[in-house]
Amino acid sequence: MDLFCGAGGLTRGLLDAGIPVAAGYDVDEACRFPYEHNNRGAMFHKVSVADLTADALAAHYPKGHRRILVGCAPCQTFSKYTQGLDNDDDPKWTLLDHFARLVRELQPDIVSMENVPELQRHPIFDRFLATLADEGFHFTSEREKQLVYCPDYGIPQHRRRLVLIASRLGPVELIPPTHPGKKQRTVRQALAHLPQLCAGETCESDPLHRTSRLSPLNIKRIRRSQPGGTWRDWPEELVAACHRQRTGKTYSSVYGRMEWDKPSPTITTQFFGFGNGRFGHPEQHRAISLREGAILQSFPRRYQFAPKGSDYCFKTIGRLIGNAVPVRLGEIVGLTIRQHLGEPVTI
């Protein structure tokens, strides 16, 4: 079972690793099409985890099979981008507690939880670990071993995640990095083969390979932008007024281009906008496309996020892609679980 399943990144990865997934649960109806269309056999249920019962989950598991429960509670509440904000009234704070409740009630054999590294600093994470310990799960308590640098596992973006795997069957740890050091995948390896586009264009053969429009001013800005550079490289007349002020001069991680031969920046829900981060294409004068963002999240090239002929809303699809667990990371979790169960795996 995949809780907080989103568009299916974690489910797709588990399936690729050879682990059957029966169902995913989420409150976002926009997830239904990509989840079911791309993950044969897995059914989408629009139900809040806060309202979900162990009996409903148990009905999905065939008799005689190991019960695996995975999930990624919404992470914006815990993200470094919202630190210092008053989030106490955000209902998302309690969702990890509901995940823990379902672990107690369902009694699965294996649990995996993925989130942002900042979650480690919050009491709700300690409560989750305490639940696992009380229920007899084995897991690594070393905080550093709970953190994953995604390029080390073949994901072409500088993304760090908290990944916890717990088992009633014995000690378990994530498999060692598969792409350490110089083996890391780059933007060039991931994106160079895609058709070229201008800002505001859509690829005829792939409607998801579409780019947002740029204003005439931003066209001038991106033409003066260098891969790995910042807006500080621009002539004074192109610099935004907010960046000329003392408080804005420290915000250099916007209006930048990616570099061909390095992993990309972390893909956020706003990756399709040139001004929202270092999301400029390394050489084409545009932000990366929706398809390029999905590929950097390690979704398969043909993964569909909307039915053909529908409205490909940048905001909606950008949210689905940016919020997803990278597919390759889900596959690594799945391979770890299979290895833990004594099954032969190819890593």
**Which is it for strands 110-115 and 2-3: parallel, antiparallel or unpaired?**
unpaired
The pLDDT of residue 243: 72
Distance CA 250, CA 259 (A): 21
Helix 327-340 vs helix 9-16: angle between axes, to the nearest 10 degrees?
50
Q: Which CATH class is domain 2-181+326-340?
A: alpha beta
Tokens 């806060």, residue located: 50
Q: What is the pLDDT along the chain (347 residues), one digit of tens a residue?
A: 999 999 999 999 999 999 999 999 999 999 999 999 999 999 999 999 999 999 999 999 999 999 999 999 885 554 454 444 445 455 567 899 999 999 999 999 999 999 999 999 999 999 999 999 999 999 999 999 999 999 999 999 999 999 999 999 999 999 999 999 999 999 999 999 999 999 999 999 999 999 999 999 999 999 999 999 888 888 888 988 777 655 445 556 678 999 999 999 999 999 999 999 899 999 999 999 999 999 999 999 999 999 988 999 999 999 999 999 999 999 999 999 999 999 999 88
Q: Please state, in angstroms and rounded to a whole number, the distance separating the CA atoms of residues 88 and 45.
A: 28
Q: What is the pLDDT of residue 75?
A: 59
**Structure tokens given for 236:** 């004074």
Q: Is 75 a catalytic residue?
A: yes
How is the chain split into domains, by residue range?
Answer: 2-181+326-340
Q: Residue 254 has what pLDDT?
A: 78
pTM: 0.93
pLDDT value, residue 86: 43
* Active-site residue, from 5, 75, 150, 313: 75
Q: What pLDDT does residue 232 have?
A: 84
Model pLDDT, residue 87: 52
Q: Who's near 250: CB < 8 A, 6+ residues apart?
A: none
- Return the closest-CA partner of residue 138 out of 173, 163, 106: 173
Residue ranges of the alpha helices (H) in 77-186? 95-106, 123-134
